[in-house]
Every structure is written in structure tokens, then in C-alpha cells.
């Protein structure tokens, strides 16, 4: 991180070198005393939780416990994350989640979630979620600045069908929302674009499981994305970027597959239930 990043972290969370050092020390000791949590002790990961909790140690500990428990309970998302499995390769080639290379004017990471890119008759929703989380985890691993500025997600609903909606059972929606709430990343905005008129039927189910803070961050936009004023979006979202979906798909597929070993090693970090 640069001096500017640390300055912004101080302005946002009151983070200082001393607070950082003391908080990390306490978290590491707590994790040593609670081996059943079996969390990743890499400083970068711990800082995501600390910054996400604005250095409130009790909140950070709670989030760590919940996150690593989720990793154990949701084996369908967090185990067997081999990017060369046919079903994962196919979803990487389709591009279900595409992080942009360019940040917005507030330095936030923008990710595009293409809710209708897959074929509901052919692709299991859990495999879609698994692939999305693989990309998200890699993104977070490589870019610590996300822990300071957070993430904005654009849900591109172009081409969404009743078949896509039918895949999302209430239990799956509940688990999906819980995963967003419990990820160490700070979600700043969830914007739904190209949404069909009946989108609120499904969105209301999502909202019913959200915390009040998360609900406030959901917006449905008719026409041009609100984020187009803050970042160059791909041409598929009527943006000014020279990078289109296909470019992003190729980049992220290669990036995920290059890190197959990292995914295999990362699977060990989950709570002992």
C-alpha cells in the first residue's frame, strides 16, 4: 500500500500503525487460542476483517468466525475449486462475474455480475456461485486496496428469464445474501441494470434477508448505470471503456487458471465443525 492508501485508511477507520499492530497481534493470539476456526492468518486477510469492522475487534472476530464457518458449511461453493473442471471452465468462458481493471473516482472496485449469462437448463446455480466466489477471492487476494475503498457490484440482468429466477430458491437466496454480508469486503453499492419490469418480485426476496445497511445500498436503475458517471464501463453497458466483456472474460479466465495451485491450498482454511 502507498502512503495515500494509509492516509485514507486513517480517515475512514482511524487506522494508525500502532492500532494496526496491536489489533493484528490480538487477532492472531485469539486465532491461536481458537484453532477450530482454522482461519488464514496472513496479515492481508486479517486486515480485510479489521477494516471491514472499522477496527472493532469484537465485530472482526464475529465476522471471521461466521466467514470460516460458512466456508466449511457451503462445501458446494468452497471445496473442489479446480478451475479446470469442465463446469467451472465453461462458466469462466461465459463470464458470470467480471471485475473491471479500472477503479471508480472513489477508488472503489467495480464488479459486473451477469445474472443471465448462464443457461439455467445446463448450469447449476451453485456452480455459478462457486465460480463467482473464486474470482472474488482471487481479486481480494491480489488487491489490498479493496479493504479500504470497498466494492460496487453492477448486476447486469440483460436476457434474464423465468428459468433464471426459478433456480433461485428462497434458501439459496438467503445463503447468497449471507455470503455477501459475511465476506470481508465492504459492499458499497448493489446496482441492478437492464432489469425486467417484474424484477422486484425476486429482489424483494433478496431484500427480506438483508441487513438494513445492505438494503440501503440496493438500487434498480432504468437506463444508464449510475456508475457510468464515476468509471468507464464496458460498451455492453453503454460505457466508454475500450475493454469489452470478451476482453474481461479472457483476462479473468486466464488469471483464475494460472492460480489453480492457490485455490487448492486455500481450501484448507475453513472451520472445523
Interval 118-169: pLDDT, tens: 999 999 999 999 999 999 999 999 999 999 999 999 999 998 888 888 888 8
Give the start-to-end residue ranges of the domains of the chain: 3-77, 86-264
Check if the beta carbon of residue 60 is closer than 8 Å to that of residue 45: no
**Topology agreement, domain 3-77 and domain 86-264:** no
Average pLDDT score, the chain: 94
Three-class secondary structure assignment of the chain: CCHHHHHHHHHHHCCCHHHHHHHHHHHHHHHHHCHHHCCCCCHHHHHHHHHHCCCCHHHHHHHHHHHHHHHHHCHHHHCCCCCCCHHHHHHHHHCCEEECCCCCCCCCEEEEEECCCCCCCCCCHHHHHHHHHHHHHHHHHHCCCHHHHCEEEEEECCCCCHHHHHHCCHHHHHHHHHHHHHCCCCEEEEEEECCCCCHHHHHHHHHHCCCHHHHHCEEECCCCCHHHHCCCCCHHHCCCCCCCHHHHHHHHHHHHHHCHHHHHHHCCCCCCC
Residue 76: pLDDT band (50, 70, 90) is: very high
What are the grid coordinates assigned to 168, written together? 433461485
Model's pTM, two decimal places? 0.93
Interval 40-71: pLDDT, tens: 999 999 999 999 999 999 999 999 999 999 99
Percent of the chain with pLDDT over 70: 100
Which whole-number Å values give the CA distances from 254 to 16, 129, 137, 194, 196, in the listed order? 37, 19, 15, 28, 32
Alpha-carbon distance 249 to 243, whole Å? Answer: 10
Q: What is the CATH number of domain 86-264?
A: 3.40.525.10
Which architecture, in CATH terms, is 3-77?
Orthogonal Bundle (1.10)
Amino acid at each position: 500500500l502507498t502512503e495515500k492508501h494509509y492516509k485514507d485508511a486513517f480517515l475512514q477507520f482511524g487506522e494508525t500503525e500502532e492500532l494496526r499492530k496491536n489489533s493484528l497481534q490480538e487477532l492472531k493470539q485469539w486465532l491461536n487460542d481458537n484453532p477450530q476456526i482454522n482461519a488464514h492468518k496472513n496479515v492481508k486477510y486479517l486486515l480485510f476483517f479489521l477494516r471491514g469492522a472499522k477496527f472493532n475487534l469484537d465485530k472482526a472476530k464475529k465476522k471471521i468466525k461466521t466467514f470460516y464457518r460458512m466456508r466449511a458449511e457451503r462445501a458446494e461453493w468452497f471445496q473442489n475449486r479446480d478451475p479446470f473442471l469442465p463446469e467451472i471452465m465453461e462458466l469462466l468462458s461465459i463470464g458470470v462475474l467480471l471485475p473491471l481493471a479500472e477503479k471508480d473516482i472513489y477508488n472503489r472496485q467495480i464488479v459486473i455480475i451477469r445474472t443471465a449469462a448462464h443457461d439455467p437448463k445446463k448450469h447449476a446455480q451453485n456452480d455459478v456461485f462457486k465460480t463467482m466466489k473464486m474470482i472474488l477471492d482471487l481479486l481480494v487476494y491480489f488487491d489490498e486496496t479493496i479493504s479500504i475503498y470497498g466494492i460496487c457490484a453492477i448486476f447486469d440482468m440483460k436476457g434474464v428469464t423465468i428459468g433464471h429466477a426459478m433456480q433461485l430458491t428462497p434458501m439459496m437466496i438467503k445463503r447468497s445474501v449471507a455470503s455477501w454480508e459475511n465476506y470481508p469486503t465492504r459492499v458499497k453499492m448493489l446496482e441492478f441494470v437492464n432489469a425486467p419490469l417484474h424484477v422486484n418480485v425476486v429482489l424483494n426476496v433478496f431484500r427480506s434477508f438483508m441487513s438494513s445497511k445492505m438494503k440501503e445500498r440496493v438500487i434498480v436503475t432504468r437506463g444508464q448505470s449510475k456508475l457510468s458517471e464515476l468509471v468507464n464501463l464496458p460498451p455492453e453497458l453503454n460505457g466508454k471503456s475500450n475493454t469489452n466483456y470478451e476482453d474481461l472474460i479472457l483476462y479473468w479466465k486466464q488469471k483464475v487458471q494460472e492460480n489453480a495451485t492457490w485455490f487448492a491450498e486455500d481450501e484448507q482454511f475453513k472451520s472445523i465443525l
